[in-house]
């Protein structure tokens, strides 16, 4: 088991260069789920019958980031790398953008608009073929990328506040805030609308997101001046583990200062996800899906397991290093047994997330415990 544990950490470190979370495990499934209720007759019954599938698959693209290298850039676009709002002379079409900036540059700074466009046309094709499994898979994943494009921090090189001394702001805005306050948001949205040009529409989304960045950074900075460090952050008991996080009071103040921004972006995500599904269906000639209303597509975890295994095989040489890393905490670190137990019981797609949590916890423990200064040093030697 020890070996398996180390494998997961390896997966974590390989992706830690770029943020690992999008809206997160709370919001992504919810966005896809709520989008179903904006669909018209002819689509609704089939989507509703498969709402669990659509929720479960909403996080697939993030899981894949642990396994394959090409996945990450599909989730964002660092617009500020290229200039400033309103980006009127930015070439919106892929070929034109490649001509101006080269493909390598585009991939390096994120490709979310073009990936949404690509998935959209795959969905049109799946509708035309009445390929039920692909209709659902592509809908779910398209939903993920569209939702990501609504997050302001997915449109900036300073995506985690790392350039402005605001590290951690990414997960704070898109995961912590919706987890704390999202239950009270208004999820009543109208009907999905038809959008003639999906590429124009998704560009509208990322530019909206980018326009919202200003307040995301500014308000955090202003509040940080009012909150001493020990009030800004706090420790929280999550599943019997103490985790350092933005405090409740700081979160509440920030959420209020943003005056509904997170809710607005979440709501727009839902409506847009439904509207892209609906438009693809219209472009495919509105095939009647009501006849498949009783067809429930099985959730198959096998493919992801395979991807993860391939990745692990490829990076096997790193395993001893990671084992040493855990060696310095093992037995001694609090909750080691607890995490080991959770890892053993977790499904393969949950493992990386539990590992991240345990790792953050261990790091905090090292920092706060004199006896672990030595251990911290040896961890650092292995990892930095
Ligand atoms: Zn994502
Ligand atoms: Zn994100």
- Within 8 A by CB and 6+ apart from 309, the residues are none
Which ligand has the shortest distance to the CA of 72?
A: 1
Cα 184 to ligand 2 centre (Å) = 22
Cα 206–Cα 350–Cα 311 angle in degrees, nearest 5: 80
Q: What CA–CA distance (Å, rounded) separates 36 from 286?
A: 16
What pLDDT is attached to residue 351?
55
- Grouping H, G, I as helix, E, B as strand and the rest as coil, residue 246 is strand
As residues whose CB is below 5 A from the ion ligand 2, the structure lists: 22
Cα 22 to ligand 1 centre (Å) = 4
Are the C-beta atoms of residues 40 and 281 closer than 8 Å to each other?
no
Q: What CA–CA distance (Å, rounded) separates 376 from 207?
A: 42
Domain boundaries along the sequence of the chain = 22-212+259-303, 305-383
Which ligand has the shortest distance to the CA of 18?
A: 2
Q: Is the dihedral of CA 221, 227, 228, 233 positive or negative?
A: negative
What pLDDT is attached to residue 221?
97
What's the pLDDT tens digit per position in 30-48? Answer: 999 999 999 999 999 999 9
Which ligand has the shortest distance to the CA of 146?
A: 1
- Among 311, 239, 270, 268, residue whose Cα is nearest residue 63: 311
Residues 276-286, mean pLDDT to the nearest whole number: 98
Question: Residue 110 pLDDT more than 80?
Answer: yes
Cα 278 to ligand 2 centre (Å) = 25
Q: Is 300 left (phi over 0), alpha (psi -120 to 50) or beta?
A: beta
Which ligand has the shortest distance to the CA of 170?
A: 2
Taking the model in full, what pTM does it have? 0.77
CB-side exposure of 333: number of CA atoms within 13 Å? 30
What pLDDT is attached to residue 60?
86
Q: What CA–CA distance (Å, rounded) separates 301 from 293?
A: 23
What's the pLDDT tens digit per position in 171-193? Answer: 899 988 998 999 899 999 999 99
- Within 8 A by CB and 6+ apart from 253, the residues are 223, 226, 227
What pLDDT is attached to residue 37?
96
Question: Residue 17 pLDDT more than 50?
Answer: no
Cα 102 to ligand 1 centre (Å) = 24
What are the distances in angstroms from CA 165 to CA 89, 120, 209, 276?
31, 37, 21, 37
Which ligand has the shortest distance to the CA of 159?
A: 2
Which ligand has the shortest distance to the CA of 116?
A: 1
What pLDDT is attached to residue 331?
47
Among 100-114, 209-223, 342-356, which stretch is predicted with the lowest mean pLDDT? 342-356
- Kindly state the greatest CA–CA separation across the chain: 67
What pLDDT is attached to residue 382?
38
Question: Residue 383 pLDDT more than 90?
Answer: no
CATH architecture of the domain covering 22-212+259-303: Orthogonal Bundle (1.10)
Among 120-134, 229-243, 263-277, which stretch is predicted with the lowest mean pLDDT? 229-243
Cα 28 to ligand 2 centre (Å) = 11
Cα 11 to ligand 1 centre (Å) = 17
Cα 286 to ligand 2 centre (Å) = 33
Cα 145 to ligand 1 centre (Å) = 6
């Amino acid at each position: 088991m020890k070996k398996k544990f180390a494998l997961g950490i390896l997966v974590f470190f390989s992706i830690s260069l770029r943020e690992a979370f999008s809206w997160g495990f709370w919001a992504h499934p919810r966005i896809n789920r709520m989008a179903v209720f904006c669909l018209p007759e002819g689509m609704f019954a089939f989507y509703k019958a498969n709402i669990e599938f659509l929720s479960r698959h909403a996080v697939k693209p993030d899981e894949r980031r642990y396994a394959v290298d090409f996945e990450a850039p599909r989730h964002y676009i660092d617009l500020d790398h290229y200039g400033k709002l309103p980006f009127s002379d930015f070439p919106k079409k892929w070929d034109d953008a490649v001509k101006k900036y080269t493909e390598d540059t585009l991939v390096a700074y994120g490709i979310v608009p073009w990936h949404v466009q690509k998935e959209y046309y795959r969905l049109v094709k799946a509708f035309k073929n009445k390929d039920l499994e692909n209709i659902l898979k592509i809908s779910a994943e398209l939903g993920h990328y569209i939702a990501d494009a609504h997050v302001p921090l997915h449109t900036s090189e300073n995506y985690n506040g790392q350039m402005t001394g605001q590290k951690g702001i990414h997960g704070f805005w898109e995961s912590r805030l919706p987890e704390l306050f999202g239950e009270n948001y208004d999820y009543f949205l109208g009907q999905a609308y038809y959008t003639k040009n999906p590429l124009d529409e998704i560009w509208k989304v990322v530019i909206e997101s980018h326009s919202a960045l200003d307040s995301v950074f500014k308000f955090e900075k202003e509040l940080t001046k009012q909150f001493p460090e020990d009030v800004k952050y706090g420790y929280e008991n999550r599943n019997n583990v103490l985790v350092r996080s933005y405090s409740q009071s700081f979160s509440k103040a920030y959420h209020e200062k943003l005056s509904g921004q997170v809710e607005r972006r979440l709501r727009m995500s839902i409506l847009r996800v439904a509207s892209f599904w609906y438009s693809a269906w219209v472009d495919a000639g509105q095939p009647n899906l009501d006849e498949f209303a009783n067809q429930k597509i099985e959730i198959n975890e096998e493919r992801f397991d395979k991807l993860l295994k391939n990745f692990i095989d490829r990076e096997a040489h790193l395993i001893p290093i990671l084992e040493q890393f855990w060696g310095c905490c093992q037995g001694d670190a609090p909750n080691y047994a607890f995490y080991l137990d959770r890892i053993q019981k977790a499904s393969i797609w949950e493992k990386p997330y539990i590992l991240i949590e345990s790792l953050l916890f261990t790091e905090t423990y090292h920092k706060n415990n004199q006896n672990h200064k030595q251990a911290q040093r040896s961890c650092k030697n292995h990892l930095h």
